Amino acid sequence: MDLQLNKIEAKVEPQNQASIRLLHKLGFCQEGLLRQHEIEKGRYIDLAVFSKLRREM
């Protein structure tokens, strides 16, 4: 099945180095950091944003 997607996006906690290594291995590029983007366990956390474009696949 071809979904005709132009961009795939992933958001991970910056401390999650295993997930970040995997995203790099899969060809994702880091776009930026969403500071205090969501609440987890009663505190705000940052999220790193990664993406891969169709032309990069």
Cα-Cα-Cα-Cα dihedral sign, residues 22, 27, 32, 37 = negative
- Do the beta carbons of residue 6 and residue 46 sit within 8 Å? no
Q: What is the pLDDT of residue 2?
A: 83
Residue 3 has pLDDT above 90, yes or no: no
For residue 57, the model assigns a pLDDT of 83
Which tokens is 28 given?
């994702």
Higher pLDDT, 11 or 56: 11
- Within the chain, strands assigned E span 7-12, 29-40, 43-53
pLDDT digits 0-9 by tens, 18-56: 999 999 999 999 999 999 999 999 999 999 999 999 999
Instruction: Report DSSP state, residue 23.
Output: H
CA distance 45 to 57: 30
Residue type, 10: A
